[in-house]
């Protein structure tokens, strides 16, 4: 009988122990839930998705490739995909939506479906034309703006295309989202790339080379940044942590002292037409060539536009053999023989220091006066090349309307 009582007592203890443990777990869970609820309340947040963001974007039509044309492209404001991020003051996420845009009823008008979000005071950040899934798993504003986009994203069928340019922008001030109310925000998108173009080339050889000729056969970029952060900020915020560099081509010195050409990123290289090259004379050669490159402030790797071809010191009638040379032009660097003219709307900050600024249009006119360099890795001697550079803010023909209901 005593054994039966002992057994019942042990079972009672076990059951009581289980109940106590369950009760403690329940208390812990309740405390945690209360803590989380308290944090949300102290932040003044209603986490229910009861607000709507409505986004309309007006852009442009079909694309042009980087191949030479009669004029520079005018459709560099096209938007195919948007990522919209709403972030509280502490950097935490309200909502992030990635969406392909759809053509609206008016030509050039793009529409995005209403976006469900939570009430609160938020920054609104919009990123355009980056790959789907770029922001998957992002937990904070810093993670969002720190994501990278590659320059390869501007390429279609082996060439840079004018309608694939990545852009970003942020609301001018935080937006207060309230359930049942409509507010508006102004967001200006800015391209993450600059456009670099050669608008004219002519020769004016010095007396030492009075009979010289130059046959242009390639135009390309060196030290184009491979990737950029999508931040809406300036170059100090868009430079990646570990920058890498792309080149349309480079040379390597051989044992005999010659230089071997190796083609690089084909979309940063233009072979001129016709294939035998263009003879550059005192008359301006004005067929435009253009490239897109990310903002770059790395003093050791300045972005360069390079002209290359055969330089004949005494022309076709002399005995000297033509040599292959390069004219590497550091974009936006002021030096002897270079004139840089910013438009009235362009900030003077950074003009002439060799920095590439996002959403700028750098148009270069080159006058060849000397014999060039044996490799694009060097920098052109000022006396051999005279430059005129026009720098403008690059007008973005997008009107963006945001309604938050």
pLDDT digits (tens, 9 = 90+) for 288-329: 899 999 999 999 999 999 999 999 999 888 889 999 999 999
Pair (298, 247) in one structural domain: yes
Report the distance separating Cα 284 and Cα 264, nearest Å. 29
Given its phi and psi angles, is residue 309 left (phi above 0), alpha (psi -120 to 50 degrees) or beta? left
pLDDT digits (tens, 9 = 90+) for 103-141: 544 434 455 666 778 899 999 999 999 999 999 999 999
The number of beta carbons lying within 10 Å of the beta carbon of residue 244 is: 10
Tokens of 190: 């800015």
Pair (75, 185) in one structural domain: yes
Pair (211, 181) in one structural domain: no
20 versus 100: which is more confidently predicted? Answer: 100
What pLDDT was estimated at residue 390?
Answer: 64
Report the distance separating Cα 239 and Cα 142, nearest Å. 14
Pair (341, 248) in one structural domain: yes
In a domain, 37, yes or no: no
Report the distance separating Cα 154 and Cα 162, nearest Å. 8
Assess whether pLDDT exceeds 90 at residue 89.
yes
In a domain, 143, yes or no: yes
What pLDDT was estimated at residue 33?
Answer: 33
Pair (161, 214) in one structural domain: no
The stretch 235-252 carries a mean pLDDT of 96
Report the alpha-carbon angle 179-181-187, nearest 5. Answer: 100
Any idea which of 66-75, 148-157, 261-270, 329-338 has the lowest mean pLDDT? 66-75
Pair (166, 176) in one structural domain: yes
What pLDDT was estimated at residue 116?
Answer: 77
335 versus 107: which is more confidently predicted? Answer: 335
What pLDDT was estimated at residue 22?
Answer: 33
What pLDDT was estimated at residue 312?
Answer: 95
Pair (244, 267) in one structural domain: yes
What pLDDT was estimated at residue 388?
Answer: 63
What is the overall mean pLDDT for the chain? Answer: 78
Pair (214, 305) in one structural domain: yes
Pair (243, 149) in one structural domain: no
Pair (243, 276) in one structural domain: yes
48 versus 206: which is more confidently predicted? Answer: 206
The stretch 370-383 carries a mean pLDDT of 86
Report the distance separating Cα 217 and Cα 269, nearest Å. 11
Number of folded domains that form the chain: 2
Q: Give φ, ψ of 67 to 5 degrees.
A: -55, 150
Pair (250, 301) in one structural domain: yes
In a domain, 43, yes or no: no
User: Taking the alpha carbons of 8, 9, 10, 12 in that order, is the dihedral positive or negative?
Assistant: positive
CA distances from 276 to 3, 272, 284 (A): 108, 8, 19
Report which of 352, 135, 358, 390 is spatially closest to residue 225, judged by C-alpha positions: 358
CATH code (residue 333): 2.60.40.3690
Assess whether pLDDT exceeds 90 at residue 348.
no
What pLDDT was estimated at residue 53?
Answer: 62
Pair (387, 400) in one structural domain: no
The stretch 252-262 carries a mean pLDDT of 91
Assess whether pLDDT exceeds 60 at residue 386.
yes
In a domain, 278, yes or no: yes
pTM, two decimal places: 0.81
Report the distance separating Cα 398 and Cα 166, nearest Å. 13
Assess whether pLDDT exceeds 90 at residue 79.
no
What pLDDT was estimated at residue 111?
Answer: 55
**Domain carrying residue 128:** 51-193+396-404
Assess whether pLDDT exceeds 50 at residue 15.
no
């Amino acid at each position: 009988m005593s054994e039966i009582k002992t057994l019942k007592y042990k079972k009672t203890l076990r059951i009581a122990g289980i109940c106590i443990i369950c009760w403690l777990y329940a208390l812990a869970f309740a405390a945690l839930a209360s803590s989380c609820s308290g944090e949300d309340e102290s932040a003044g947040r209603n986490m229910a998705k009861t607000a709507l963001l409505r986004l309309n974007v007006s852009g442009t039509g079909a694309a042009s490739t980087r191949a030479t044309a009669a004029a520079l492209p005018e459709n560099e404001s096209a938007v195919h995909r948007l990522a919209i991020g709403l972030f509280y003051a502490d950097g935490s996420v309200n909502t992030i939506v990635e969406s392909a845009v759809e053509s609206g009823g008016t030509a050039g008008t793009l529409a995005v479906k209403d976006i469900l979000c939570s009430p609160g005071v938020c920054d609104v950040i919009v990123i355009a034309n980056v790959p789907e899934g770029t922001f998957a798993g992002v937990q904070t504003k810093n993670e969002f703006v720190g994501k990278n986009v590659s320059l390869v994203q501007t390429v279609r069928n082996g060439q840079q295309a004018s309608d694939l340019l990545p852009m970003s922008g942020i609301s001018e001030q935080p937006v207060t989202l309230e359930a049942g109310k409509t507010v508006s925000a102004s967001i200006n998108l800015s391209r993450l790339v600059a456009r670099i173009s050669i608008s004219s080339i002519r020769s004016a050889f010095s007396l030492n080379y009075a009979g010289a000729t130059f046959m242009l056969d390639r135009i390309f970029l060196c030290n184009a940044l491979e990737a950029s952060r999508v931040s809406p900020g300036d170059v100090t915020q868009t430079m990646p942590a570990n920058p890498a560099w792309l080149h349309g081509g480079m040379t390597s010195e051989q044992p005999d002292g010659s230089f071997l050409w190796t083609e690089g990123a084909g979309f940063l290289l233009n072979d001129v037409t016709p294939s035998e090259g263009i003879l550059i004379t005192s008359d301006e050669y004005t067929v435009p060539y253009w490239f897109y490159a990310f903002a770059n402030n790395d003093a050791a790797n300045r972005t360069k536009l390079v002209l290359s071809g055969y330089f004949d010191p005494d022309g076709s009638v002399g005995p000297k053999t033509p040599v292959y040379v390069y004219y590497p032009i550091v974009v936006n660097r002021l030096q002897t023989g270079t004139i840089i003219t910013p438009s009235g709307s362009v900030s003077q900050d950074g003009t002439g220091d060799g920095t590439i600024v996002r959403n700028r249009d750098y148009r270069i006119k080159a006058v060849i006066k000397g014999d060039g360099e044996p490799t694009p890795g060097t920098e052109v001697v000022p006396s051999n090349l005279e430059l005129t550079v026009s720098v403008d803010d690059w007008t973005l023909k997008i009107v963006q309307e945001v309604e938050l209901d």
